[in-house]
Structure 1
């Protein structure tokens, strides 16, 4: 009898083990298989939130089929205590395992509201935008000029939300004065900027910031980034470029930046100035003359006068047979690399071609023909305005 009982108990135990193993295997498959989401969603994890709270929200939004399995899987992966506060994008079909990784990985938020401060060459704007998870594209909800326009309600609401991300984006070709002037108008930043950094020393890029960040710290990040970019480009330069130092490269790069905004043209434009430097021909670039007038403080807002083109100044490249003494803006990486690795071309001239690009020429006759075409295009545009 006891033998029969023991045999039955052993059988039952084995069956329970098999059932438990099957249950674990099923749970693991549920945890790692493609999730039920048809469209991406945003999931907000509040500060001090728990995996139980997150699992309930995910169940309510149809992102997970079983919140208990989600929590057990997070526990088993030792990630339950690693939850990060913020707003995160959960893509369509994400498994529970992938979602756990998303909400515990850390780093910047990938969803929700973002405020972008755009520092451009001619203006500055603050844009409030919201990520639409269904399209993974941002939808603008408000924009204004800091320090000029009335602050919109959407921006004030964003300032009260701890999950909102902030980003400062600096355009290639903005001057140091423009950047400093814009940063001083941003109320999300704090502290003074003691002096305007040297022209060309700030790297145009997109920088994530947090409320209360010091303006000088952001300037230091921009400076360090530009130093790295310039050092790397100088290390990989064409040894035949007629530039004696990284500083000269930065000057030429700033001229290239102001002459064209088309990435594909930068090395061609660089080749024109390189050929002129090699042959001792004056650079004759309007942006340098303009910088000599404005010193980078705002936009000239009119055409150059003949008297300004004839006046001898350190930045008048129609008069001086060399590079200007300093950069005329803050060039981006592509323009710095173009200055140090220009295309090999015979071009000496270029002029706008009416499409946003330029027409290049080797001889003065070809150049004059291109100029005549451009003036005709200008006249037609003026007549239609």
Structure 2
């Protein structure tokens, strides 16, 4: 009898060892997952529910082995909620370690230089993995245009606040380093002029030169006469959907710099770092005018006579191009 009991005990131990070995091999072995998948681990979700969900989605082969392995290794309280990228071939142990690492997916979005508040809000509300719809427009010019990192389910309003903090910090730092004797009284005025420069050119090499023209006009109390301010005064989205007319240039708004003197009351867009720096360190120049040259840049002039010649060149070029396309 004792012999049979001994055999039974040995057999049970051998079976348990075999089961443990097979379970360990399945827990640590390469999985059959053939492609990378994204898995969102909700906050507060336990190991049992996670194991079942992973098994249902075909990410792991056995929910019981995953649950047991995690608990035996003492990792059942270490999982961190978030969005994870599970690589193809990941073992159950790999997945356990991934969830415990907190290495969640970090997304990126880009705010484009020269966008208006309306454009930024429209864009952010279209990003599906953010939460909390934006219902009010942020102050024009208050956001730093650049690429931002964010996590799934981040709040849109909190993200906007982060963007605004970046702009404020940068503006104040640059203001403290500004050239002397600029005709700008406050950082806010610099931001307004930077937004105009931003809308006037996308060429890096032109920004400081255009800023120099505007600075010269401000010093001489000349109207800035810049089309983007007219457009913004007529439509705060920054897009009329049509070319400006002569009537538009004569229409009085607080932003129409063909009518008002000095700067408009607020920025007309969100300027980037380069435009802010250009305004605070403008190119020394005697130029007072510029007009598009038809090739993506501008022609500059120090006198009205020279400027009118540049305008005629542009009109001639436009006429020739129209004839060639008709």
Q: Tell me the TM-score normalized by structure 2.
A: 0.68
Residues 349-379 of structure 1, C-alpha deviations (whole Å, 9 max, x = no match): 0011122111100011111111111111212
Partner of 1:370: 310
Partner of 1:172: 113
The Cα of 1:229 is off from its aligned counterpart by 1.2
* 2:234–2:253 Cα contact (<8 Å) kept: no
The alignment status of 1:383 with 2:323, answered yes or no, reads yes
* 2:117–2:139 Cα contact (<8 Å) kept: yes
The Cα of 1:87 is off from its aligned counterpart by 8.7
Displaced runs of 4 or more, over 4 A? 44-48, 85-88
* Correspondence list, 1:21-40, <5 A: none
The Cα of 1:46 is off from its aligned counterpart by 9.8
* Correspondence list, 1:208-227, <5 A: 208-227=149-168
The alignment status of 1:348 with 2:293, answered yes or no, reads no
Partner of 2:186: 245
* Correspondence list, 1:49-198, <5 A: 163=105, 165-198=106-139
Q: Which has the higher strand share?
A: 1
- DSSP 3-state at the match of 2:214: helix
Of the candidates 225, 228, 232, which is equivalent to residue 284 of structure 1? 225
In structure 2, what is the Cα distance between the partners aligned to 1:332 and 1:87? 37
- DSSP 3-state at the match of 2:290: strand
Residues 6-39 of structure 1, C-alpha deviations (whole Å, 9 max, x = no match): xxxxxxxxxxxxxxxxxxxxxxxxxxxxxxxxxx
The alignment status of 1:272 with 2:213, answered yes or no, reads yes
Partner of 1:130: none
The Cα of 1:382 is off from its aligned counterpart by 2.1
Total equivalences in the alignment: 236
The Cα of 1:320 is off from its aligned counterpart by 0.7
Residues 292-328 of structure 1, C-alpha deviations (whole Å, 9 max, x = no match): 0011x25212121222211222111011111000000
The Cα of 1:280 is off from its aligned counterpart by 0.7
User: Which protein shows a greater Rg?
Assistant: 2
The alignment status of 1:312 with 2:252, answered yes or no, reads yes
Partner of 1:114: none
- DSSP 3-state at the match of 1:240: coil
Partner of 2:145: 204
The alpha-carbon distance between structure 1 residues 171 and 107, as it changes in their structure 2 partners (threshold 3 A), is farther
Residues 113-154 of structure 1, C-alpha deviations (whole Å, 9 max, x = no match): xxxxxxxxxxxxxxxxxxxxxxxxxxxxxxxxxxxxxxxxxx
Partner of 1:59: none
The Cα of 1:166 is off from its aligned counterpart by 2.2
In structure 1, what is the Cα distance between the partners aligned to 2:219 and 2:208? 16
- Structure 2: any 5+ residue segments left out of the alignment? 1-35, 42-83, 88-97
- DSSP 3-state at the match of 2:107: strand
Q: Tell me the TM-score normalized by structure 1.
A: 0.58
Partner of 1:4: none
* 2:140–2:270 Cα contact (<8 Å) kept: yes
The Cα of 1:86 is off from its aligned counterpart by 5.8
The alpha-carbon distance between structure 1 residues 203 and 107, as it changes in their structure 2 partners (threshold 3 A), is farther
Residues 324-363 of structure 1, C-alpha deviations (whole Å, 9 max, x = no match): 0000000000101111110100000001112211110001
Partner of 1:232: 173
Higher relative contact order (Cα pairs below 8 Å, separated by 6+ residues): 2
- DSSP 3-state at the match of 2:110: strand
Partner of 2:301: 361
In structure 2, what is the Cα distance between the partners aligned to 1:286 and 1:320? 13
In structure 1, what is the Cα distance between the partners aligned to 2:139 and 2:277? 20
- Structure 1: any 5+ residue segments left out of the alignment? 1-43, 49-84, 89-102, 109-161
The alpha-carbon distance between structure 1 residues 46 and 314, as it changes in their structure 2 partners (threshold 3 A), is closer
